[in-house]
Amino acid sequence: MNLFEKHQPTLTKAIEALHARTFFAAFPENPAPATYGETADADGQAKFRASLNKKFEELKQTSAEGWAGQEESPYLQEALNISYPTFSTASLVSKSKTAFHQWRKVSAKDRAGILMESLERIKSRFFEVAYATMHTTGQGYMMAFQASGPHAADRALEAIAAGYEELNRFPEKVLWDKPMGKFNIQLNKEWRAVPKGISVVIGCSTFPTWNSVTGIYGSLMTGNSVIVKPHPGAILPIAIFVAEIQKVLEENKLDVNICQLAADTFDKMITKELAEHPDVKLIDFTGNSAFGSYLEGLPGKTVFTEKTGVNSVILDSAEDIDKVAANLAFSVNLYSGQMCTAPQNFYIPAKGIETPNGTISFDQFAEKFVGNLNGLIDNPKAGPFVLGAVQNKKTNERVIEAEKLPGKVWLKSRAFENPMFKNARLATPVVVEVDSSKKEIFSKELFGPIALLIKTKDTDESIALAQEMAMQHGAISCGAYTTNSIVKEKIADEMALAATPVSFNLTGGIYMNQNAAFSDFHVTGGNPSGNASFTNPEYVTKRFTWVGHREPVKN
């Protein structure tokens, strides 16, 4: 049995899920021993610890020009002291160019089998990846396991499935027969899906695998060679993915440089060199808008970006305001607001929020919201694990600056202790009341645990502001609470025009921060928060070109 035959049943289910948009997960998100084995967690933690203070020597790339690494644990505020092989841009591109011409000749079936086999290998390392993610990003344990392990693998599988589906959309060969009266014209026609070339995937510091694997696997599935350029602060999680891809490539007698890791350091970054190299044709990027816009402007490149956005919550009316406040508080606390989908601007009418038990005033909601934030923070069994740690020192500085914004400060960021990591870099949310006229305050992303309660004239103004922010500055997510069907449709319609998905009336265990593979399109590509979407057909079809050849049939 070849690798494609081995994994075809899963691929078939994944393709069906792409069309049905119903729940599908090939990789279980529950880290329970019954799912992954009694010793899986301990083994993964031991492997992570064994990688500290050493060279990462799993990569099959050869002729390293140096070794470097500057990762630091946000939980320990200590260097991991892991070094990775470094290569010049010229070397990376040269090897990628050679590997590309081998990889593009591999059939779509064989590519799919190899890539899916790599995911199967990575599955056995989910716990190791989780600890690597915790100690590079500051994510809590459960998020680190789920987002960097099974959820990332599902996103990778989604890209494989989407690519495979599009590569097989049209026949490879046909006999073209055109009746011309007394005779027919016959041509043999064939079509080739020609990959664009070298792909560079630029990773981010907060979600080093989840935000990278779609580009990596999307480009590989469509026949492109890939250079993975991780964020210097979060290399290890994606390095493990690349190592497993290379191992499967080598086992199948293919050039391991089909997928390379391009590690660098803060003081000697090679991102621009790679992006601007004339042989690089595809770029995937997650990060700030300034750099993303620069990449989008590079000539001769096909660029896929996820940038910053201003995410809104529109509060009109609710069945149970206490559940609403609890849900939104969890969303703000989750990973200390360091998610591109985290809510920031909360639009609340000056007259309050309608409920079956009467109107909840602006101040009453603010009190409930702050109470839920504090309640979760102070819960020793939940708070430290939900908030995690802060990846970047600049986020802490931003939180402190937010307390100085003109407006009533409903909640200041405060110190709290993670019982497992006494040295963790932490930041609890800050909540500030802002008048709707102060657009200069809330018309930009304030990355981190910062919530702005914006007092509006009415729900119509709330909707108009949320739409304006999305259209002008981008938005990846939006939350809305209303019991009025007419208002609901207006929100849905207006935010759809701003290319922003809306989560309506969420309470309980689902939050506006979350996106599900095979069902939710992550980023729409229709507003300034990004020009691409995980994973619609365009996300893979732009990575290759259909080219047709034809020849008359010989009589």
- The CATH number given to whatever domain includes residue 349 is 3.40.309.10
For residue 245, the model assigns a pLDDT of 98
pLDDT at 555 over 90: no
Amino acid found at 200? V
Task: Give yes or no: residues 429 and 444 share one domain.
Answer: yes
Task: Give yes or no: residues 320 and 437 share one domain.
Answer: yes
Is residue 12 situated within a structural domain? no
- Domain assignment of residue 330, given as a range: 312-504
Task: Give yes or no: residues 331 and 287 share one domain.
Answer: no
Q: Which two tokens stand for residue 358?
A: 């009467």
Number of domains in the chain: 2
Is residue 486 situated within a structural domain? yes
Q: What is the mean pLDDT of residues 9-25?
A: 97
For residue 530, the model assigns a pLDDT of 96
Q: Which two tokens stand for residue 500?
A: 């922003």
Q: What is the pLDDT of residues 190-233, one digit of tens each?
A: 999 999 999 999 999 999 999 999 999 999 999 999 999 999 99
Helix axes 236-251, 126-137, angle to 10 degrees: 150
Task: Give yes or no: residues 359 and 217 share one domain.
Answer: no
For residue 2, the model assigns a pLDDT of 95
Task: Give yes or no: residues 336 and 297 share one domain.
Answer: no
For residues 124 and 120, give the distance between their C-alpha atoms in angstroms, rounded to a whole number.
7
Amino acid found at 419? P
Which candidate, 286, 327, 284, places its Cα nearest to that of 307?
286
Is residue 164 situated within a structural domain? yes
Q: What is the pLDDT of residues 459-513, one digit of tens each?
A: 999 999 999 999 999 999 999 999 999 999 999 999 999 999 999 999 988 999 9
Which range (79-88, 130-139, 195-204, 505-514) has the least confidence?
Answer: 505-514
Is residue 455 situated within a structural domain? yes
CB–CB of 494/467 below 8 Å? yes
Task: Give yes or no: residues 482 and 541 share one domain.
Answer: no
For residue 415, the model assigns a pLDDT of 81
CB within 8 A of 401, min separation 6: which ones?
Answer: none
Q: What is the mean pLDDT of residues 68-74?
A: 97
pLDDT at 1 over 70: no
For residue 416, the model assigns a pLDDT of 86
Q: What is the CATH number of the domain that holds 180?
A: 3.40.605.10
Last residue of a domain, one of 485, 504, 523: 504
Q: What is the mean pLDDT of residues 55-66?
A: 97
CB–CB of 332/449 below 8 Å? yes
Is residue 516 situated within a structural domain? no
Is residue 10 situated within a structural domain? no
Q: What is the pLDDT of residues 399-427, one digit of tens each?
A: 999 999 999 999 999 888 899 999 999 99
Q: What is the pLDDT of residues 302-318, one digit of tens each?
A: 999 999 999 999 999 99
Q: What is the mean pLDDT of residues 360-365?
A: 97
Amino acid found at 195? P
**Residue 522 has what DSSP assignment?**
B
Task: Give yes or no: residues 351 and 494 share one domain.
Answer: yes
Q: What is the mean pLDDT of residues 284-309?
A: 96
Is residue 518 situated within a structural domain? no
Task: Give yes or no: residues 472 and 367 share one domain.
Answer: yes
Task: Give yes or no: residues 294 and 340 share one domain.
Answer: no
Q: With b meaning 16 or more CB within 10 Å and e meaning fewer, what string describes 2-26?
A: ebbeebbebbeebbebbeeeeebeb
Task: Give yes or no: residues 211 and 324 share one domain.
Answer: no
Mean pLDDT estimate for the chain? 96
Task: Give yes or no: residues 424 and 388 share one domain.
Answer: yes
Q: Which two tokens stand for residue 173?
A: 């060969």
Is residue 466 situated within a structural domain? yes
- How many CA atoms within 13 Å lie on the side-chain side of 407? 25
For residue 417, the model assigns a pLDDT of 87
Task: Give yes or no: residues 297 and 323 share one domain.
Answer: no
Which candidate, 287, 205, 299, places its Cα nearest to that of 530?
287
